[in-house]
A and B are shown apart, each in its own frame.
Chain A
Amino acid sequence: MAILLLFIAYPFVMALWYSLTSIRVGEPGHFVGLANFAKAINDTIFQQAFKNTVFYTFWATVFKLALGMWLALLLNRHFRFKRIVRASMLLPFIIPTVLSAFAWRWMFDPTFSVMNWALYHGGMITDRLPFLSSGDWAMWCSVLVNTWRGMPFFAITLLAGLQTISPDLHEAAALDGANAWHRFWHVTWPLLLPVTLVVVVFSVIQTFSDFQLIYVLTGGGPANSTHLIATYAYQIGVGSGLLGEGAALSLFMFPVLFAVVWVQLRYLKRMENG
């Protein structure tokens, strides 16, 4: 237990200390106060990365929730091969992200893209789409891949929640003349809200601090348009060896994550008392 706390708390304290110094690889550095943070705030790339992170987290979470909920509702019905379908739906979540992100990168490849091929031969486009070579496109493609990867997590956990809802409630609502949409909105959604909230919190934390997907898919480019806080902190901290500045950058994630966790804990407390 003590070792564990040491392993988490010690790096954290060190991260704080680093962020206040001018430490570099092979150079101890000295105390510089909040200079690293001030530098980060005035750094246009960092501003961009911060905005990107918020954008990426927001849209990816919205899509994951919407699609995951839809998928969970579909999986909640009885059909043949249900078990195998459900098992295969989780694959994007199981397979190492780096490896599957490469498959996506290959599918987005400017010259050999299978998607451009399919759309072109399907008569939908006349010129290739700039999947990862234009800033806006690259961002949306990253959101898409993140959605693809995280959707199963939403679907499976929401499905577990759905299975605790008694079908009687739906039948009663149906007898009262509620259509499918009303039944979802007035019966399923409120009952599922606690599970949904927890899943969203988890996903926000994971997405906000995402690194591997962007690292493989775009490397932050083109022209920093897809840099997230984590990838930028890596580039500065490890790529350029400016440990102090890198640590400061990654600490910018902390307030946001802390707020999310705090909401979560308060909510759990209320559940326990209520």
Chain B
Amino acid sequence: MLIERKWKKWLYFYLPMAAFIVFTLFPFYWMAVTAFRPDSELYATWRQPNAAPLWTLQPTMEHVIGLMKTTAFPTWLWNTMAIAIVATGISLVCGMFAGYALARLKFRGSEFLGTAIFITYLVPQTLLFIPLADIVRDLQLGNTPWALMLTYPTFLIPFCTWLLMGYFKTIPKELEECARIDGATRFGAMVRIIFPVAIPGILSAGIFAFTLSWNEFIYALIFMSSADQKTVPVGVVSELIRGDIFFWGQLMAGALLGSVPVAIVYSFFVEYYVTGLTGSVKG
């Protein structure tokens, strides 16, 4: 074993670790403090003595209530949730079949298709938003949830396919060969044998896709124009800043409440998420 002295451990481990924790979490802490702090404390300038203590003595719900009552925030939450779930569902189903096909079936061009999937998964949204906006307009989908439910899969399907393809490859072929000897069709073997075994992989892909669609911004910004159709990120950006005035209390309350659902989902599936994350970069 490598033996370490105590002070050394403090210097090389606890100190940097603590710094990392503060750096990572302080913005969230500050978001929360701001959301519950009354305006009189919020708008005290930086030079005043004790102007910005790191906590608040008079926590208030005024920003949260204001957010719920005066803006369409609950609708945005609902929109974001519905869009994320539908887009994730579509992408998972497509990704499962496509991933299986690429992992198992040897057909002409399957290798090329695998590479093509990988490349499309790397294409950033910001490259294609202008023509996609036009397509959405031509299909008359603009300003409806379908605009996002159908465009998110353009980046989620390649991602799910890639991740699941890797996962299917790790499942031994013998498993489905046995099933087929027992008389199952290829499709039957896939649905009844392989998919159940692959549930951890499917969950990882699903969680990852869910957080990605919750996070998506540029498509939602461009395709959604009326206040009651927006998603949380777009709503917060466009509706909580009126003119040049930032309503910081409400903004932070919105940011906090918009983050909570995705954080909850994440906290239940941390391990799957980490698998998805590390799997997403594997060749």
- Check if A251 is an interface residue, CB within 8 A of chain B: yes
A residues apposed to B, CB below 8 Å: 1, 4-5, 7-8, 10-12, 14-15, 18, 67, 70-71, 74, 77, 79, 83, 85, 87-92, 94-100, 102-104, 106-107, 109, 111-114, 116-117, 120, 128, 148, 151-153, 156-157, 160, 170-171, 174, 195, 198-199, 202, 205-206, 208-212, 215-216, 229-230, 233-234, 237-238, 243, 246-247, 250-251, 253-254, 257, 261, 265, 268, 271-272
B27 to chain A: which residues have CB within 8 Å? 92, 100, 103-104, 107, 148
Chain B 95-124 interface 0/1 with A at a Cβ cutoff of 8 Å (1 = within) = 000100100000000000101101110111
Is there contact, CB below 8 Å, between B25 and A120? no
Give B45's nearest chain A residue, CB to CB.
Answer: A111
Max chain B CB contacts within 10 Å: which of A79, A103, A211, A247?
A103
Subset of 9 A-B contacts with CB under 8 Å:
A4-B157, A11-B132, A12-B128, A83-B270, A96-B217, A156-B277, A202-B280, A246-B130, A253-B127
B237 to chain A: which residues have CB within 8 Å? 98, 102, 215-216
Give A194's nearest chain B residue, CB to CB.
Answer: B283
- Check if B7 is an interface residue, CB within 8 A of chain A: no
Q: Which of A77, A87, A107 contacts B13 (CB 8 A)?
A: A77
Interface locus among B56-64, B140-148, B174-182, B256-264:
B256-264
Number of interface residues of B (CB under 8 A): 83
A112 to chain B: which residues have CB within 8 Å? 42-46, 52, 248
A67 to chain B: which residues have CB within 8 Å? 20
Q: How far is the CA of A103 from the CA of B255 in the complex (A)?
A: 8
Q: How far is the CA of A202 from the CA of B162 in the complex (A)?
A: 14
Max chain B CB contacts within 10 Å: which of A91, A116, A148, A253?
A91
Max chain B CB contacts within 10 Å: which of A97, A98, A257?
A98
Distance from A192 Cβ to chain B, minimum over Cβ atoms (Å): 13
Q: Given A11-B135, A160-B278, A94–B262 Cβ distance below 8 Å? A: yes
Q: How far is the CA of A107 from the CA of B31 in the complex (A)?
A: 9
Q: How far is the CA of A99 from the CA of B30 in the complex (A)?
A: 12
Q: How far is the CA of A116 from the CA of B48 in the complex (A)?
A: 11
